[in-house]
Structure 1
Amino acid sequence: MSKAYFINKVLATTVVGSYPVVKGGGLRSLFDPLHSAVETAVADQIGAGIDIISDGQVRGDMIGAFASKLPGVKGQDVIGKIQPAAAAITAADTKYAISKFPKVKGIITGPSTLAHGLHISTPMYRNKEELALDLAAALVIEARSLEAAGVTLLQIDEPILSTGIADLAVGKQAVELITSSVRVPTCMHICGNLANVLDELLKYNVNVLDFEFSKNPSNLDVLSRRDLSGKMLGYGCVDSSSDEIETVHEIKKRIEKGVEYFDPKILLIDPDCGMRMRSRESAYWKLKNMCDAAREVRIAL
């Protein structure tokens, strides 16, 4: 099996990453208030039938969770040269997930998205592009720690790249600093409308491109006219921006639309984006219905 086809299942299901934070009590919560939230996120994903789970990303927003651990950053201000974190940032939660389930994706907030979420308060960096490259170099250590932990897939979240704000050439250089440092298959997640950026994104050296199609159905038309060059496609078919739970039938229709355009062997079925802002009930049933819909389409194939 090639590096791209890392899961031997047609229309395998996954998550983009984050899950609602469900806090627990007990003695352990005094030492680690969010460990029970990791446990809940992992258990719910497994219960829903997800094939490649995450640790739930419950320890903070996508910027703060990483930036707060990097020397050179204080709050949202870059105050000095960016250095790697003193210890792995997400490996402990990822290892917990792996202890409960064989296939787990490690997730890193992308360097361009981090750079644009921070304020430069030092003459060390002239612009966000220089900052993004140093952030990428620091995140190589995190990527390698996740690979060593045993992840099935390494995902880099770069939502900023669809907005037109970030420099796509520097974004590519920064992402590839990370992807070239590991042997595990890699994925890049980008939400939003792809019309103005897709041709550049297709050049990025990653094994999977993960996009949203539920809230941005026009992405399907744009993408269907392009050559994916052997990449797999993360196919967002559940709306992460609302607590409204789509039926199995609704999600099945979206998946069938994707299968009309693409070989089902290259599709990974997932929500449009992370579920952090949803209620636990909504997040769970969205994932459960998505897995049931994928199974129905799989059987029909």
Structure 2
Amino acid sequence: MAKAYFINKVLATTVVGSYPVTKSGGLRSLFDPLHAAVETAVADQIAAGIDIISDGQIRGDMIQVFTAQLPGIKGQDVIGKVEPAAGAITVGDTKYALSKAPKVKGIITGPSTLAHGLHISTPMYRNKEELALDLASALIVEAKSLEAAGVALLQIDEPILSTGTADLAVGKQAVEMITSAIRIPTCMHVCGNLANVLDELLKFNVNVLDFEFSRNPANLDILSRRDLAGKMLGYGCVDSASEEVEPVQEIRKRIEKGLATFDPKIMLIDPDCGMRMRSRESAYWKLKNMVEAAKEVRIAL
């Protein structure tokens, strides 16, 4: 499978998605209090040298930002049949990012992760699995809108899939409802330890699987004994859970460990997870050092 269709660069860098929220005042903030935070997130990613940026995902937590817009959901309660949002949810901020950078990934929270973040308060759904499938149907509209906006890659975040609490067969069906509805390359991000779920995750019909290897180095050993079956690998090599900024050399060593197993042509270099909980300074320098480490490794190849 040719990968140059969304990035023609060995060891290209990207982000998992979220960035710290920086508030600002002024007249514009009265109309959109968070637009300045989008501008800052986009500018920082570009300044750090990231090849495929995001919009910063600064509008709220990964569950609420979507569920607040979907009919059938009130707060954390599912009160009726879940339907598509009346309008685009993330496309406005994504279009801003696209106006500043050539390569942007669109990001949606996966159906299983959304379902497990909600409480069913209606006889419409017997379980989270039925809910996940209707959430997938609703999210197809958002995925198509992001595709039409011009994103280079659509990422579906499914952290719940590594925990053992979600039905992986239904999770696969739900994700593939979305990926089969669009033509652009797709990525699925799953953080955590992969030991009990990797064989199932490898069957998902996505172009890129994005995992964490900094905080979960055992994932590299597990994955080294598996066939990626033509998929690219999002290689998390920066610890998003720590405020400490890893030196370039440390990140470089993590990337080189991955290269002992994987062809650099299939690796996308990124942090373990989103950076939302970090300070802006920490997030920026983590990305900056990651870009520099990838550059050094690229030159050495």
Residue 296 of structure 1 aligns to a residue whose secondary structure is helix
What is the CA–CA distance in structure 2 between the aligned matches of 1:3 and 1:181, rounded to whole Å?
Answer: 20
* Partner residue in 2 for 1:220: 220
Alignment of 1:264 with 2:236, yes or no, is: no
Aligned length: 301
> What's the C-alpha RMSD, in Å, of the aligned pairs?
0.8
Q: 1:131 to 1:218 in 2, by over 3 A?
A: same
* Partner residue in 2 for 1:246: 246
What is the identity, as a one-letter code, of the residue corresponding to 1:249? Answer: Q
Q: Are the aligned partners of 1:4 and 1:185 in contact in 2 as well (CA < 8 Å)?
A: no
What is the identity, as a one-letter code, of the residue corresponding to 1:42? Answer: V
* Partner residue in 1 for 2:31: 31
What is the identity, as a one-letter code, of the residue corresponding to 1:123? Answer: P
Q: 1:115 to 1:186 in 2, by over 3 A?
A: same
Deviation per residue, 1:255-288 (Å, 9 max, x gap): 0000110000000000000000000000000000
What is the identity, as a one-letter code, of the residue corresponding to 1:125? Answer: Y
* Partner residue in 1 for 2:11: 11
Alignment of 1:274 with 2:269, yes or no, is: no
What is the CA–CA distance in structure 2 between the aligned matches of 1:280 and 1:113, rounded to whole Å?
Answer: 26
After the TM superposition, list the runs of 4 or more consecutive aligned residues in structure 1 that deviate by more than 4 angstroms: none
* Partner residue in 1 for 2:111: 111
Q: Are the aligned partners of 1:4 and 1:208 in contact in 2 as well (CA < 8 Å)?
A: no
What is the CA–CA distance in structure 1 between the aligned matches of 2:7 and 2:262, rounded to whole Å?
Answer: 17
* Partner residue in 2 for 1:131: 131
Residue 13 of structure 1 aligns to a residue whose secondary structure is coil
* Partner residue in 2 for 1:20: 20
Residue 106 of structure 2 aligns to a residue whose secondary structure is strand
Structure-to-structure mapping, 1:200-219, within 5 angstroms: 200-219=200-219
Identity of aligned residues (%): 84
Residue 17 of structure 2 aligns to a residue whose secondary structure is coil
Deviation per residue, 1:188-244 (Å, 9 max, x gap): 000000000000000000000000000000000000100000000000000000100
What is the identity, as a one-letter code, of the residue corresponding to 1:105? Answer: K
Q: Are the aligned partners of 1:4 and 1:231 in contact in 2 as well (CA < 8 Å)?
A: no
Residue 188 of structure 1 aligns to a residue whose secondary structure is strand
Residue 254 of structure 2 aligns to a residue whose secondary structure is helix
State the shift of 1:23 in Å: 1.0
What is the CA–CA distance in structure 2 between the aligned matches of 1:2 and 1:242, rounded to whole Å?
Answer: 35
Structure-to-structure mapping, 1:187-202, within 5 angstroms: 187-202=187-202
State the shift of 1:25 in Å: 1.4
What is the CA–CA distance in structure 2 between the aligned matches of 1:4 and 1:45, rounded to whole Å?
Answer: 22
What is the CA–CA distance in structure 1 between the aligned matches of 2:266 and 2:27, rounded to whole Å?
Answer: 45
What is the identity, as a one-letter code, of the residue corresponding to 2:60? Answer: G
State the shift of 1:24 in Å: 1.3
Residue 12 of structure 1 aligns to a residue whose secondary structure is coil
What is the CA–CA distance in structure 1 between the aligned matches of 2:217 and 2:4, rounded to whole Å?
Answer: 25
* Partner residue in 2 for 1:149: 149
What is the CA–CA distance in structure 1 between the aligned matches of 2:172 and 2:282, rounded to whole Å?
Answer: 35
What is the identity, as a one-letter code, of the residue corresponding to 2:161? Answer: L
* Partner residue in 2 for 1:76: 76
Stretches of structure 1 lacking an aligned partner (at least 5 in a row): none
State the shift of 1:5 in Å: 5.0
What is the identity, as a one-letter code, of the residue corresponding to 1:66? Answer: F
* Partner residue in 1 for 2:295: 295
Residue 257 of structure 1 aligns to a residue whose secondary structure is helix
